[in-house]
Amino acid sequence: MTAFTVTLVLVVASAGLLRWRRPAWYWLTFGVTLATIRVLVRYASVMDACGLTVPPSRWRLALARMTSRPVPESRPPRILSLRPTCTGLVLRLKLRPGQDAFDFAAASDRLRHSFSMYGVTSRELRSGVIELRMTGYDVLKRVQMPTRLDTRPMRILVALREDGSVHYRDYRAIPHALTLGATESGKSVYQRNLVAGLAPMDVALVGIDCKQGVELFPLARRFSALADNPNTAAELLDALVSRMEDIYQLIRAEQRITADVPDAEIAADIWDLPDHLRPTPIVVLVDEVAELALFATKEEEKRRDRIITALVRLAQLGRAAGIYLEICGQRFGSELGKGITMLRAQLTGRTAHRVNDETSANMAFGDISPDAVLAAIQIPAEMRGIAIAGDSTGGWHRIRAPHTSLRQAANICNRHADRTPDLPELAPFRPVLTGTSATPVPLSKAAPVTA
Ligand SMILES: Nc1ncnc2c1ncn2[C@@H]1O[C@H](COP(=O)(O)OP(=O)(O)OP(=O)(O)O)[C@@H](O)[C@H]1O
Ligand SMILES: [Mg+2]
């Protein structure tokens, strides 16, 4: 064997190994070049085979006839650009007369096979121009977030979309959100990513975790207020409502509308206020929301009504006062009693992890998109963390958040603990940090509690 053959075998073997074990590295080393060549070489024939070409125009036919040239062939859309990315290729096409973006959306599965890519999605950029985003491998299998981020206040990166683009949670565009999913589907991990993303920002975090605080209390150092049972939650929500009312008073006092105030300076929400006056925005994270809506006794029913009323008021009026709701639960439908569907209607952002039945998926997307309902039901049980996220335009995406462990999230929260604002209204709910672990609670009969 010559040295050349040995090198070739080694290169092919390492490419194969990379492709199998580290698809992202394979893509960056070999995949991107091979795929670019493949797409460019096969382009015309693939477009033809997928029915995405247009027959020659009349004047071209007439010209060919006049000059007695052969009849011109059907033409595929013109390539405007082909851009390689860390996860795939982005192809921009100029449509020919008579084509529409729907043709490309309908053919995306055929294009995927023909170009030997992992996934192809298409979207219209502007009239006559579409973008085909192709991924070279399953980007959601092992989520790797890009390092270069486009950060803005109150907008955080939480997940990766299946087309390789990033999924932001933008509180100023979509103030309130609902995250649904069956047990063990990845809701708390998603919420943990939100906390980790918000921790470095100038924002107060408030948590209600009726699972006795097991999800949020480890992150307590970055939280301005925490509640681990429905009773505390009711008081905390009342305190938030009264803070919201105070903020509205502040905004009104600042408005001082007189004839000489230019329009642009009239404040209608906290973001219009000058920096030194602006109250800290608050994100309220609620895990296992159904716990707040369940009751067994008359007393509990009263508490439930108080909680739901406060949540509805925060959802209706909170945005301008900079109070944003982030609600997680397994189900969130009318069976939880009055006020729930009204609250749900206010939660614009919808994310559904794996659900067990269509009704649960309908709670997230029934009123938005039937396709998204179907996609949420089809999430396989073994792919935890995969979710369907609706966007403000009525479209939806398959997303997956990175697997942030509680330890990683706690480290991030501890690192940014000094950013935790002190809100006087919420002071009674500020988590007590002892520094030592709490006294162990005996659970098993084998370790009896002796008085
Ligand atoms: N994005 C993800 N990537 C990889 N694994 C994940 C992801 N999200 C969740 N998981 C896995 O799924 C497990 C359950 O996730 P999580 O605790 O978030 O579920 P949950 O929906 O909150 O469940 P419950 O309703 O019981 O609280 C995690 O321990 C983790 O192993
Ligand atoms: Mg959970």
Summarised one tens digit per residue, pLDDT across range 232-284 is 999 999 999 999 999 988 888 887 655 555 555 567 888 888 888 899 999 99
Lowest mean pLDDT among 44-58, 161-175, 237-251, 434-448: 434-448
Residues 212 and 102 in one domain: no
> 122: annotated binding-site residue?
no
pLDDT more than 70, % of the chain: 92
10 Å CB burial of residue 367 (0-12, 13-18, 19+) is exposed
Residues 123 and 165 in one domain: no
Residues enclosing ligand 1, CB less than 6 A?
181, 183-189, 330, 384-385, 400-401, 403
d(CA 186, CA 174): 21
Residue from 161, 180, 188, 289 whose mutation best tests the ligand 1 pocket (most atoms within 8 A of CB): 188
The CATH number of the domain where 220 resides is what?
A: 3.40.50.300
The pair of structure tokens assigned to 278 is 């602006």
Residues 61 and 101 in one domain: yes
> 31: annotated binding-site residue?
no
Q: Nearest Cα to 26, choosing from 87, 99, 81?
A: 87
pLDDT of the residue at 256? 66
Q: Nearest Cα to 177, choosing from 315, 367, 13, 57?
A: 315
Residues 206 and 267 in one domain: yes
Side chain identity at 369, as an amino acid letter?
S
pLDDT more than 90, % of the chain: 55
pLDDT of the residue at 1? 66
10 Å CB burial of residue 142 (0-12, 13-18, 19+) is middle
d(CA 284, CA 266): 27
Q: How confident is the model at residue 450 (pLDDT cuts 50, 70, 90)?
A: very low
Residue 84 lies in a domain: yes
Residues 248 and 328 in one domain: yes
What separation in Å is there between the alpha carbon of 214 and the centre of ligand 2?
9
Q: Which long-range contacts (CB under 8 A, 24 or more apart) does 262-269 make?
A: 268/320, 269/319, 269/320, 269/321, 269/322
d(CA 340, CA 312): 8
* DSSP tag of 75: B
Read off the pLDDT of residues 175-211 as tens digits, 9 standing for 90 and up.
999 999 999 999 999 999 999 999 999 999 999 998 8
Residues 204 and 94 in one domain: no
Q: Nearest Cα to 397, choosing from 378, 375, 380?
A: 375
What stretches of 140-201 adopt beta strand conformation (E)? 155-161, 166-170, 177-180
> 339: annotated binding-site residue?
no
| Residues 237 and 314 sit within 8 Å (Cβ to Cβ) | yes
Side chain identity at 126, as an amino acid letter?
R
Residue 254: which domain range?
155-429
The CATH number of the domain where 123 resides is what?
A: 3.30.980
Lowest mean pLDDT among 178-192, 283-297, 367-381: 367-381
What separation in Å is there between the alpha carbon of 362 and the centre of ligand 1?
21
